[in-house]
Structure 1
């Protein structure tokens, strides 16, 4: 298994220090990790993305780092057909960027709660959108990896059902170890549900907010607030998941995604150290 870090894992530093994608790549090399995970939300020159993409590709070659996943921030649960078409195009653009980056995986979302729309209501739009995107993904030999994210399609059963209904081998799962806590599902149970669909892993941990914590956390579907932590300091049994990945012969990427409040650089350096220790145990 190979170790990566997501640019989102440095979100606070990116904002505070106005990092470019190349700044992040240089930092990632210094940790060090084996690769990086990039996101569509971090392009600075959107009016001239081709030039920025060329600069990023050159920096990746210079630092000797592959891109393990390219993350698209999409939402198929939109009221109008025009809006849904825009989200489909967003994912298709992500596939094209992934091809340019020689990246095998595009992380996708399903959608967010929107007014009175439930998971059942939005599932049809999600499946329709993914089917259209999957046609291009299959042509380009790029996997779409649905992340268990947010309060819609955040449960393992929902992710598995959507993958089944899309019914394309190029649509699989990004297994985010921490996000299941936000929908009050055991990450261990979720792993057992999804292990045959996992093509990418986000290594993440959360703990429940206490009375002493002053910062706002991530709110679960039942109103519980969770705070991001360095892996091993929270509620996820990461050793169980790591052992399961080893048993199934997973040989893909483990991508660090820290969402805590400590200094992001220091937290990620410690997180990567722990991640490598989990792999070796």
Structure 2
């Protein structure tokens, strides 16, 4: 298994210092990484930037672990959902240029009077349409467990099975299951055969005395992002399980805490490498 860091993991620096994707690549190289996870939300001038990024990746001998598309299929009009399909299809093309065969995708979130059944039908329909291109290009669409739809392992599993494509799998986010009150270990046992990408993340319950704003779970519990190993996720269990199934892909760190992300990610990289020995 190989260690990567998501650009979202240093989002506070990206926003504060107006980092470009190349700035992030420079940081990744400085801390000795071999892989980076890139996101569609950070392009400023995508068409021109991609060529520069591809050149820098080659120069720095960095690989792209995954390219993340920020889509949402829970839209009430067919026209809006078609735009989300096109967003993923474009992401497949960008991923190929960047040299990765993993596109992280979302499903969507409930809002208004929509039901789970409404949302799931639209998600399955959209992913089936995008899977046609994914299969042709041999690029995996890796669903991240995220939000109220596909936040739980059984939802991810059900959607993957309904789409029924060998190129629609799981981005297993170790921390996000805590936001829907599912034990990450049990989620891993359910999804272990469907994982093609991993987000290495951890959360802890917020102390009442803390003044920072955290993430609220589906039951209203507030949690704070933390350096992996300082929270509730049994990361050793997951790493050992990945070894058992012969997973040889990327473990991509995604830090969402309040400390300096540069420092936090360097420590996360050290801990993950130690865990992998």
TM-score (norm 1): 0.97
Aligned: 1:258 with 2:263: no
Query: RMSD of the alignment, in Å?
Result: 0.7
* Whole-angstrom CA distance in 2 between matches of 1:102 and 1:89: 20
* Whole-angstrom CA distance in 2 between matches of 1:99 and 1:242: 28
User: 2:215 — aligned with what?
Assistant: 218
Query: Are the counterparts in 1 of residues 197 and 251 from structure 2 also a CA contact under 8 Å?
Result: yes
* Whole-angstrom CA distance in 2 between matches of 1:143 and 1:250: 15
Aligned: 1:70 with 2:70: no
Aligned: 1:151 with 2:141: no
Deviations 1:156-177, CA, capped at 9 Å, x for gaps: 0000000000000000000000
User: 1:137 — aligned with what?
Assistant: 134
User: 1:19 — aligned with what?
Assistant: 19
* Whole-angstrom CA distance in 1 between matches of 2:163 and 2:210: 42
* Whole-angstrom CA distance in 1 between matches of 2:133 and 2:149: 25
* Whole-angstrom CA distance in 1 between matches of 2:16 and 2:275: 31
What stretches of structure 1 of length at least 5 have no aligned partner?
none
How much does 1:212 deviate? 1.5
How much does 1:31 deviate? 1.0
User: 1:209 — aligned with what?
Assistant: 206
TM-score (norm 2): 0.99
User: 1:79 — aligned with what?
Assistant: 76
Query: Are the counterparts in 1 of residues 107 and 123 from structure 2 also a CA contact under 8 Å?
Result: yes
* Whole-angstrom CA distance in 1 between matches of 2:32 and 2:224: 25
User: 2:183 — aligned with what?
Assistant: 186
User: 1:55 — aligned with what?
Assistant: 52
How much does 1:216 deviate? 1.0
Query: Are the counterparts in 2 of residues 151 and 182 from structure 1 also a CA contact under 8 Å?
Result: no
How much does 1:119 deviate? 2.2
* Whole-angstrom CA distance in 2 between matches of 1:254 and 1:151: 24
* Whole-angstrom CA distance in 2 between matches of 1:26 and 1:158: 37
Query: Are the counterparts in 2 of residues 119 and 153 from structure 1 also a CA contact under 8 Å?
Result: no
User: 2:42 — aligned with what?
Assistant: 42
* Whole-angstrom CA distance in 2 between matches of 1:18 and 1:38: 16
Which of these residues, 97, 104, 108, is aligned with residue 107 of structure 1? 104
Deviations 1:182-232, CA, capped at 9 Å, x for gaps: 000000000000000000000000001111211111111111111100000
* Whole-angstrom CA distance in 1 between matches of 2:197 and 2:23: 24
Please, which moves more after superposition, 110-119 or 188-197?
110-119
Query: Are the counterparts in 2 of residues 69 and 105 from structure 1 also a CA contact under 8 Å?
Result: yes
Query: Are the counterparts in 1 of residues 120 and 149 from structure 2 also a CA contact under 8 Å?
Result: no
How much does 1:150 deviate? 1.2
User: 1:273 — aligned with what?
Assistant: 270
How much does 1:121 deviate? 2.0
* Whole-angstrom CA distance in 1 between matches of 2:206 and 2:160: 33
* Whole-angstrom CA distance in 1 between matches of 2:148 and 2:269: 28
Alignment: residue pair count: 277
How much does 1:118 deviate? 2.7
